[in-house]
Structure 1
Amino acid sequence: MQIELVQVAIVDGELAINLATVLEKISQRSAGTQLMVFPETVFSGFPDTDNVAVLAQAISGGMIAQVRAAARQYEVAVVLGFAEVSDRRFFNASVLIDAAGEIVLHHRKVHLWSSDIGIFSPGDCFTTAQWNGLQLGLLICFDIEFPESARALASLGAELIIVSDGLIHPHGVVHQRALAARSMENQVFSVLVNRCGPDSGGESFAGGSMVINPYGDIVLQADDGVSTLRAQLDFAAVQESRKEYCYLEQRQVKLVMEQVDTVNQHIRTQRIKKS
């Protein structure tokens, strides 16, 4: 399967500019590409308490609708992150849109980074979906630093984990290490796409978008500039990696503080409230 990792510079707060970039990249997809992956909060950059209500988009709203139309027109699936509004609450979210323009999977970031807190509400479940013959799961940025996030998706059968990222210099190596570990310990392919370039606050994003195979090896990795990487993934490698040993089957400790719903294919977190 051919995928494209679309590492872009985002103009904070400029919805029209960023949407135009996403639509242009989709229109330029290479022949044979089945999936394009974009960074975290790609429409808006990271909002703050003053502008989140203006920048956040409904999953049923016009910006997502335009991406769905582009996916359908160019016959390619798309994963992207965006600031979501739902019932007057805000979430750091991502979606998988298939080549027919349908929303197949929707994830809300469970583990909020310090700058997310007070702006976004946390998501409360990990979910997988069937797409193109694969079981696929989504994570966002800080989610990947917790082994339980990827293990939850792997427990639901994920063969591919896609991470929409927004990590700044000099911390890019953190997610390189985390993604390699998550891939190896769950014996899955992982794809991470980060943004690049400066933000409005003077930080610089680390880029470094990458593909990791089920053995924890880096298949390819971008530098810290604007780029589109193409990768061919052979998912026979997932089963091959599990031939001699399978961590999921051989583990003796199950996930704790979680409810597994095998009917609806999600794992819902149970938050511990301090008394």
Structure 2
Amino acid sequence: MKVGIVQLDCKINRSDSNMRRAERYIDQAIEAGVDLVCLPEAFLTSGNILEVADVAVAIPGAATEALGALARKGGISIIAGLLEKDGEAYYSTAVLIGPDGAIGATYRRVHCFEMERKYLACGDQFACIDTPHGRIGLILGYDLNFPETCRALYQEKVDIIFCPALIPEQFSYVTNQLLTTRAIENQCFIVFVSGVGMNVYAGFNYMGESCVVADPLFLEDELFDFVDGGETLLRFNQDEQFQVIDLDVGRLLRYRESRSLIGDTQPDVYLNSWQGIHRRAALSGSNS
């Protein structure tokens, strides 16, 4: 799969400008012959959750129609993060638009941190989609902190996890550690597509550092000159930019045929443990 990555400077209160710049990068991706292009989380509005009621968009709606027209023009798929409005609820959502311009999947971020939950609702299901180039999973930024997110996709035999994100730069070190860990745990490629620029309301910059990470055990098996650290196949700096990478899903699948961890997992034990934790939490709450 040939993937285009757009690390966009997502500016607050500049939706029209953000869309125009995204369109220019998507046109570059089409010229480069990509199969799929990915934009950051909330690329249209930045992380403007304080004004989410004013800036969130309907899905489907004008934003997805514009992206759909570009997908049809180039015969490509597009993944993009949007702040979504659905009635009185708001979500951080990723959409996958197919080469026909239609929405093939939506994913509402399951995990929101405490402050976000004042403004955003949490999704309640994960998304894993078959494409002609591989099986794709969708997550969003903060989901990386929860191993259950990627493990749910691994149970669905995901090949590539796409993670549009808007993560403050103070969390960049931890985020990069998590990305490698999630790739190892789930024997897959992870495409992390970050926004850059400043959240002027919150007073911090977004981390950038978009990257593509692979399971290093796969690379050790496939690339005889692999060295430690080589699992990061591509990394951006903190500027707005566009790059293309070709991911060999077929080789990954052949590796997993003999090295898959799925058969060694113990889902019943995990479920029992989680049920016990929730029972104890419920009892503790009732006694407080």
Regarding TM over 0.5, the answer is yes
Between stretches 195-204 and 93-102, larger displacement belongs to: 195-204
2:33 maps to: 32
Per-residue CA deviation, residues 116-166 of structure 1 (Å, 9 max, x unaligned), is 211110000112111124211100011111110000011112111100111
Out of 250, 256, 270, the residue aligned to residue 242 of structure 1 is: 256
Question: 5 Å matches for 1:68-79?
Answer: 68-79=68-79
Out of 240, 250, 260, the residue aligned to residue 226 of structure 1 is: 240
C-alpha separation in 1, matches of 2:95 and 2:34: 18
1:205 maps to: 206
Q: State the one-letter code of the partner of 1:256.
A: L
Taking structure 2 as the reference length, the TM-score comes to 0.85
C-alpha separation in 1, matches of 2:149 and 2:163: 11
2:9 maps to: 9
Is the 1:167–1:205 contact (alpha carbons within 8 Å) kept by the matching residues of 2?
Answer: yes
C-alpha separation in 1, matches of 2:261 and 2:246: 25
SS at match of 1:68: helix
Is the 1:192–1:211 contact (alpha carbons within 8 Å) kept by the matching residues of 2?
Answer: yes
Q: Runs of 5+ in structure 2 lacking a partner?
A: 218-230, 273-280
Per-residue CA deviation, residues 162-192 of structure 1 (Å, 9 max, x unaligned), is 0011112222122211111111111011100
Count of aligned positions? 260
C-alpha separation in 2, matches of 1:133 and 1:223: 28
C-alpha separation in 2, matches of 1:132 and 1:236: 12
Say what the alpha-carbon RMSD is for the aligned residues. Answer: 1.8
Which is helix-richer, 1 or 2? Answer: 2
Q: State the one-letter code of the partner of 1:235.
A: V
Which is strand-richer, 1 or 2? Answer: 1
Q: Percent same amino acid at aligned positions?
A: 24
Compared with structure 1, are the counterparts of its residues 176 and 251 closer, same or farther at alpha carbon in structure 2 (3 Å cutoff)?
A: same
Q: Runs of 5+ in structure 1 lacking a partner?
A: 258-271
Shift of 1:42: 0.5
Per-residue CA deviation, residues 29-72 of structure 1 (Å, 9 max, x unaligned), is 233211111111001011234x2111101111111111111111
C-alpha separation in 2, matches of 1:17 and 1:253: 47
Is the 2:196–2:238 contact (alpha carbons within 8 Å) kept by the matching residues of 1?
Answer: yes
Question: 5 Å matches for 1:44-193?
Answer: 44-49=45-50, 51-193=51-193
C-alpha separation in 1, matches of 2:72 and 2:123: 28
Is the 2:8–2:240 contact (alpha carbons within 8 Å) kept by the matching residues of 1?
Answer: yes
* Rg (Cα) greater in structure: 2
4+ aligned runs moved over 4 Å, structure 1: 272-275
Is the 2:11–2:197 contact (alpha carbons within 8 Å) kept by the matching residues of 1?
Answer: no
Q: State the one-letter code of the partner of 1:31.
A: A
Compared with structure 1, are the counterparts of its residues 249 and 101 closer, same or farther at alpha carbon in structure 2 (3 Å cutoff)?
A: same
Q: State the one-letter code of the partner of 1:224.
A: Q
C-alpha separation in 2, matches of 1:12 and 1:153: 32
Shift of 1:244: 4.3
SS at match of 2:6: strand
Is the 1:183–1:189 contact (alpha carbons within 8 Å) kept by the matching residues of 2?
Answer: yes
C-alpha separation in 2, matches of 1:158 and 1:245: 15
C-alpha separation in 2, matches of 1:86 and 1:46: 17
